[in-house]
Structure 1
Amino acid sequence: MAVSFLAYELSELCLGKPPLRSVSTSATIAEAIDVLRSSGESFVSVWQCDHSEFGRCECVGKICMVDVICFLCKEESLLCPSSALKASVSQVLPRVHDLVVHLEPSSSLLEAIDLILKGAQNLVVPILPTKRGGNSRRKQQQKSLAINSHNGVEFCWLTQEDVIRFLLGSIGLFTPLPALSIDALDIIDSDVLAIDYYSPASSAVEAISKSLTEQTSVAIVDNDGTFIGEISPFTLAYCDETVAAAITTLSAGDLMSYIDCGGPPEDLVRIVKARLKEKNLEKMLEEFTILTSLTGEVSASSSSDEETPTRNAARSLKYSRSSSFSPRFVRKAEAIVCHPKSSLIAVMIQAIAHRVNYLWVIEDDCSLVGIVTFSNILKVFRDHLEII
């Protein structure tokens, strides 16, 4: 019965999914940021389109604020952020092949899982036309700032979370698999991205970028390897570009506090300002206009830290609503953890409840064991099908 379940067509998973918000490959990073903000989504799709009679439109990738933040942390970007924001989105697209893959609505769930296990993060699927409400919907989308229709066709995308949710809805078909522990299933990956609590946050930029590609996170540990927290791309994706200043100036531990919900602490805001000046990055304060949320209005004359309107700092971290299933939880930057003996179904439910694609696995003494991901979990289901 489980095999027939996986023969479901992807059109079943696409029901109710909103059309993709998108930008062209010729768009600037600033334009992509505007679409991200207006859509409330964590990612925006990037398309290469030929709108001629026999032309073809193709989604060539996706970007989010994490891509933008990592790009702005580069030395040349720090020296001239305004120029960096005028760069093409193609400069921040991940250089990993097949992160985004096109599939037809008639493709099977099994095909989707196989592609995800090969590295696909998002599956781009055409939205089948509906008989009712088509004209009003089309008029509404013509008003959008983003490009939603490609040669008259709208698309949505399916994620690992969508597939896990769908499997969870019929989890009883896979008994006794869901009740087994993640330790017994051997799906805990001990090869994790990690950084010391006191290390400069800037030294984690490459790891942050890699964790985004792998849909994992960067662990923060102490000298003994005890797990303290994380720098999560899932949290950073809902921050704004001013976080690049914090990454440039703070330690990994302080950055973890800075991106916590509710806005950065007042003392960390002052530290960021002071260290930018020490690094001769005053130009960043002048050109990066969005930094007014950190520093208040930047003027030619200097002002004391006490006079800076710190209430503006709370706006430097923005959380939006996710378009997938339900509003994203405005969760703190606290890491979501489980135990090696946690059951598979408990881990699935916990990850979905917190809208993350992974859970850190720790022992009772907080020592870090590893990480379990949606990809690990999907492999278990796929392997299970081969033996039944």
Structure 2
Amino acid sequence: MAARLLAHDVSDLCLGKPPLTSLPISATIRHALTALKSSDDTHITIWTCDHSSTHDCRCVGKICMVDIICYLCKQDNISSPSLALSSPVSALLTHVPGLIKHVDPSYSLVEAIDLMMNGAQNLVVPIKSKFSKRKQLWQLPSTAPTIHAGGREFCWLTQEDVMRFLLSSVGLFSPTAAYSIESLGIITTEILTINYHSPASKAVEAISTSLAELTSVAVIDNDGVLIGEISPFTLTYCDEMVAAAIMTLSAGDLMAYIDCGGPPEDITRVVETRLKERNLKGMLDEFAIYSSSIPYCNSSCGSSDEESVPLAITTRSGMYNRSERYSARIMRRAEAIVCHPGSSLVAVMVQAIAHRVSYVWVIEEDCSVVGIVKFSGMLKVFQEHLERMIDV
């Protein structure tokens, strides 16, 4: 059994994965925004392709709605969002090296985990696909479409893909998988937080950091109790006009704004009023168009007929009550996915994978925040276990 697991390579994890949606480096942020809204994917990959001599195509970055939201929150951009969206897409790319790695399909599972433990978030793998070329050809005005050399297509592997694969063979990691996360020493105490009553604008840098680190921003009260979170995983399913909400609302109100299928009407009016007060005409015009075309969330939002998902955290005495269901489109809400220091590794894995996040908040019985457990920490445990398998 262990030998079969170690024999797997990354091509086994790529089975059934669709090709990446891609844009050329010459695209603008508006092109990326259009592509995101037109695609089922949460991320758009950015490529440089030199077909003149080397026939080399390289993925140089990835962009999601959160990148655009944080970019629009910058002081110069919030006053003129239309101009900001005309900027080159390269303005959104991170300059941290090694986040994306091209690998051969024959890379072993162990090698893939090693790359991720060394900082890679996405492994780009060439695939043979029956999917249509629509995933990699975007007919954008004044922009050459990204056509990969030889008509090749690519998918990518994430930490979540590897964790799902390992979960399917978790019995091989006994008894390690049953150990508590506290005993394994994988609880990270350095976390990003913002007070419930603080302006959400103070969290912009933290949101950007949490996106890069695959974590989230905890929203806490004055006693350090976890109320909820501002998560890049939730913001990814939102509209770019959330930037207006971030710049005008408190952290608590922002959670309510992104919590349902549409923002509460009273909070939307607050955003519009504050945009007027700050004379942000460009953003106000964009927000007015946006708000006139979306459904509002009201007090009955929690009683819809959409699929029910249990609450992730129940706060003391019902304060800051949250609605009881997830939106069908916004797959995750502002509630935080939580566990306790005594939770087992496998239980935390299941929680994170079920909620499509790469982390779980760790809290005490009184809901005070202890820290966070990330996929990277879990992968470290499995990496060490696999190394012992190889040495045997």
Task: Give TM-score scaled by structure 1 length.
Answer: 0.86
Residue 59 of structure 2 is matched in structure 1 by 59
Please state if 1:150 is matched with 2:151. Answer: no
Residue 322 of structure 1 is matched in structure 2 by none
Residue 11 of structure 1 is matched in structure 2 by 11
Residue ranges of structure 2 left out of the alignment (5+ in a row): 298-327
Alignment of 1:17-56 (within 5 A): 17-56=17-56
Q: Name the aligned partner's letter for residue 203 of structure 2.
A: A
Superposed structure 1 runs of 4+ greater than 4 Å apart: 137-149, 311-314
Residue 306 of structure 1 is matched in structure 2 by none
Q: Name the aligned partner's letter for residue 234 of structure 2.
A: T
Tell me the alpha carbon deviations over residues 278-315 of structure 1, each in whole angstroms, 9 at most, x when there is no partner: 111123223x3x64122x3xxxxxxxxxxxx8x5456x
Residue 349 of structure 1 is matched in structure 2 by 350
Residue 337 of structure 1 is matched in structure 2 by 338
Following the alignment from structure 1 to structure 2, what is the Cα–Cα distance between the partners of residues 57 and 67?
Answer: 23
Residue 256 of structure 2 is matched in structure 1 by 257
Residue 379 of structure 1 is matched in structure 2 by 380
Residue 179 of structure 1 is matched in structure 2 by 178
CA gap 1:142/1:263 in 2 versus in 1, 3 angstroms = closer
Deviates more, 1:262-271 or 1:239-248: 262-271
2:289 to 292, 317, 321: 292
Residue 169 of structure 2 is matched in structure 1 by 170
Following the alignment from structure 2 to structure 1, what is the Cα–Cα distance between the partners of residues 217 and 330?
Answer: 20
CA gap 1:329/1:203 in 2 versus in 1, 3 angstroms = closer
The alpha-carbon deviation at position 39 of structure 1 amounts to 1.3
Q: CA RMSD in A?
A: 2.0
Q: Secondary structure at the match of 2:351?
A: helix
Following the alignment from structure 2 to structure 1, what is the Cα–Cα distance between the partners of residues 377 and 188?
Answer: 8
CA gap 1:252/1:329 in 2 versus in 1, 3 angstroms = closer
Percent of aligned pairs sharing the same letter:
60
Q: Name the aligned partner's letter for residue 28 of structure 2.
A: T
The alpha-carbon deviation at position 332 of structure 1 amounts to 2.5
Residue 2 of structure 2 is matched in structure 1 by 2
Q: Name the aligned partner's letter for residue 266 of structure 1.
A: E
CA gap 1:139/1:28 in 2 versus in 1, 3 angstroms = closer
Deviates more, 1:159-168 or 1:259-268: 259-268
The alpha-carbon deviation at position 386 of structure 1 amounts to 3.3
Tell me the alpha carbon deviations over residues 255-283 of structure 1, each in whole angstroms, 9 at most, x when there is no partner: 11111122111111011011111111123
Residue 210 of structure 1 is matched in structure 2 by 209
Contact 1:329 1:354 in 2 (8 A): no
Please state if 1:219 is matched with 2:218. Answer: yes
Following the alignment from structure 2 to structure 1, what is the Cα–Cα distance between the partners of residues 228 and 52?
Answer: 51
Residue 80 of structure 1 is matched in structure 2 by 80
Following the alignment from structure 1 to structure 2, what is the Cα–Cα distance between the partners of residues 128 and 107?
Answer: 16
Q: Secondary structure at the match of 1:184?
A: helix
Following the alignment from structure 2 to structure 1, what is the Cα–Cα distance between the partners of residues 85 and 133?
Answer: 31
Q: Name the aligned partner's letter for residue 226 of structure 1.
A: V
The alpha-carbon deviation at position 55 of structure 1 amounts to 2.6
Q: Name the aligned partner's letter for residue 108 of structure 1.
A: S
CA gap 1:79/1:56 in 2 versus in 1, 3 angstroms = same
Contact 1:35 1:145 in 2 (8 A): no
Contact 1:36 1:43 in 2 (8 A): yes
Deviates more, 1:34-43 or 1:229-238: 34-43
CA gap 1:40/1:128 in 2 versus in 1, 3 angstroms = closer
Q: Secondary structure at the match of 1:44?
A: strand
CA gap 1:214/1:3 in 2 versus in 1, 3 angstroms = farther
The alpha-carbon deviation at position 77 of structure 1 amounts to 0.4
Residue ranges of structure 1 left out of the alignment (5+ in a row): 297-308, 315-326
Following the alignment from structure 1 to structure 2, what is the Cα–Cα distance between the partners of residues 373 and 142?
Answer: 31
Q: Secondary structure at the match of 2:371?
A: strand
CA gap 1:360/1:116 in 2 versus in 1, 3 angstroms = same
Following the alignment from structure 2 to structure 1, what is the Cα–Cα distance between the partners of residues 119 and 133?
Answer: 36
CA gap 1:138/1:351 in 2 versus in 1, 3 angstroms = closer
Please state if 1:113 is matched with 2:113. Answer: yes
Please state if 1:188 is matched with 2:220. Answer: no
Task: Give TM-score scaled by structure 2 length.
Answer: 0.86
Contact 2:207 2:231 in 1 (8 A): yes
